[in-house]
Chain A
């Protein structure tokens, strides 16, 4: 929990560091800040603490999610090496500070005990993201993305807040455990008949959260925003924001509303199905690597939501494993995209399509290997973490006896096959197509970060128990 306080302070100190002449210190300082927060976070391991009059509550699950968020933040910051180089982003300190602040919001979203904290966390995260999305100030698409994200995002948060108010009206509590008790009582007294206020409240909260996770049909902002934002922040959005959103949804549904599974379970199954189908099928038609990753993030939201639905004790670790596997693979992919498109724009041909990757295996075999591993992991092929992520999800989902669920599994399996189709496009471009023969040089920090993500992907693909046995 001290991580939240520490990160907020670090964010502010980052702003002050920006006054220094020596900008080179910013990146290492931010990385150290995140590592310190990581350590503080782990200090609470195996203790359940309530903080600030039951506003936040840490347990091992929330600590694990916080670790994933901090790891993702760390990796994204690490690959932002060249971010402050151009005129456009001449004050990188602000961006680093905002990233730290949004990490604070994300951590609040996975540790909240009071719905107010969920709202505050979500707002901290979202407002930071609106700013970061628009940080390419002179780029029209970046501006469009920021405006779009801001308008739609504010609506979604408003809807969520409205839902929180209704749930409070129905149960008399903001506390997720308190709500859980009230709901169970209501079930016992009224035999499964809930008032319309409670039901409307749950649905509105879910809409707000599903918007942040970019599940269909609340996904329309995703491709444009992901495409318009600078790649580094797209990587941040598709990992940190998604993990936080799924963890928050999971926390709420599994603690407050398990008794009302009948109400939200079936609609969510259809939402998962729609998300999987829309995300995967649309990804097939993309010509831009970045846009493909945007749609792929929609589809992974679908897989992640399956775990939210599966009622099984092991589900905790499955959500966590999947978000970890997904985050590191996505960051690898974005890092390759950033490096390649940087090299392309230096050569005067800015390009974020698959063609930009042509001949990568020759220009830089290491990058091509990193790309291949991350794509295989996202596609869920064995030897990579992504395979076990999918495997645990399928196992959890299969233990749910409902036949609707068996249907969704078949959809998920078919869509995994579709996924292979588009995840192989970059691999084919990198290994089998000929490109222009410029060698691509990468700086050491990229190299070490990518070695870390790739090694982690493979290690988790061989020994998933390293994460699984944390529970």
Chain B
């Protein structure tokens, strides 16, 4: 190597100013901070909620708490914190809601993405987005006034505020999420797959269930699970529409109570630092764990699908 060549190696010809170098570093740092902050916030929230509830953890008989349905947090003589019925309430209303919302949402996503064009498609997308923008308290109103009456009138239910009512509201609330994520998933399927299927004489419906569903499986699964997440966390609408009775439902016409609604309804009435107050925070931890497990399952499922 000649002297001039080594010189060139040592001294890059396009030296950048110090400001540019530092600017780059700072921006990189900021972006890194944004990424890391998500983790920090999630753990921070979890730790805070846990801290409020922690002093009570040792004092409770946990099998009783988790499996008993006796929720008497303000009893004078015998305080019992059984959340079994609340867990069942949350899971049943979410499950039933998903029974309505997933087929309906995926169906709507298929229609928007594959069967509608032009104005119909645009209108549908806007309206579905508007559905997502309706505040949950308004849904609660609808449950309380409209659905309540309809259920009492047309179905053999003694009360209109029950599991079915809450589930229908939750379904309506999670459908927009399922539709928009599902539509994205379908839209991401390369058009060449559609052409391949059509050129072999597939009808549109055959194309959807033989080609698009397998191709968009991950995305559709994610759509459904985001819908579940939305439903589990919902508070106001279920508080107003489910009847808010601590009860393990025997039919879809029974009133129930959810974990979220319990926290919302009772936290304002407790003394800070009391056992009841701490118990509500522990319910928060429980809720957090449930959503964590759902997300984890979703992730594993998606991974499993991907490996195939």
A and B interact physically: no
A residues bordering B, Cβ < 8 Å? none
Interface residues, chain B, with chain A CB atoms under 8 Å away: none
